[in-house]
Structure 1
Amino acid sequence: MAARRGDRCPPDALLNRFHAERARKERRWQLLFTQYTVNPLQPVHMVSRKPMSRHENIQEPIDDEFLKLLHRAAVVPREKYSEPQTESQVIGWHTKPLVPFDRSDTRFYFPRHTTEITIHGYPAPREPKFKDQEESYT
């Protein structure tokens, strides 16, 4: 049987109650940030100043904490951290060879050998196609 009109909520009130409950649950986990800084992981693009601008030619004191953040952002990860932070950094993290490199040891050193075939730009003897070209080769 159908419910009476007084027992049911209008659709807008039901939807409003749903949104209010969801907002209440989301507010429990929100954090309020009041102190903002530069993201040290993003590169900073400097824009040159306008020479005729009055408000940009005012000298301001330098913030040491901001400079430290900028310098730390420019440092390569191998100098920042003692161990790789991601799986992609694992590849190429350790660049020092395990065995000292010795050019006289033929087990690990394979120099390139040049032959007549591998010399780049080696002039191969050619026969001229036309009689007029014979003079240029001789």
Structure 2
Amino acid sequence: MGLHTPAKPHQWPGTSAQVSARMARVRVKGTEPEQRLSRFLIGQGFEFFANVSSLPGSPDVVFANKKVVVFVHGCFWHGHAGCRRATIPQNNRERWVAKIQANVRRDRRVSRALRNEGWSVLTIWECQRSEKDLHNFLRRLLRKM
């Protein structure tokens, strides 16, 4: 399902319990990539709503008057194909593959539901960090608006 498999197996440091504890601390909202995008959009003069729970998937950024939503996806958790950040750990590999594949299926289901309700859906990935990446994203966003 588009999951990137590294050429060299990736062994995460620590025991399974330590890795699980570290993964459990990953935040759902207010992540650093979300904050970076928010600062960028505000700096460009945009007004938007954040983490709108009344919409399918609770989009990270919502431009309600234009019916455009933006999801900020972590490359690992959402299976960003071809991205070095989306490598699957060797510990409990089957479990991780199943989890990430379920996330990818959910993302598709949510996007389809939003599009069926008339929303345009955009995704920006955690790895898209540079100013150039954000400006390219802004161009995509403006085409949808």
Q: Under TM normalisation by the shorter chain, which class is it?
A: under 0.3
TM score, norm. by length of structure 2: 0.19
TM-score using structure 1 length: 0.20
Higher Rg of the two aligned structures: 1
Higher RCO (C-alpha 8 Å, min separation 6): 2
Q: Which has more helix, going by share of residues?
A: 2
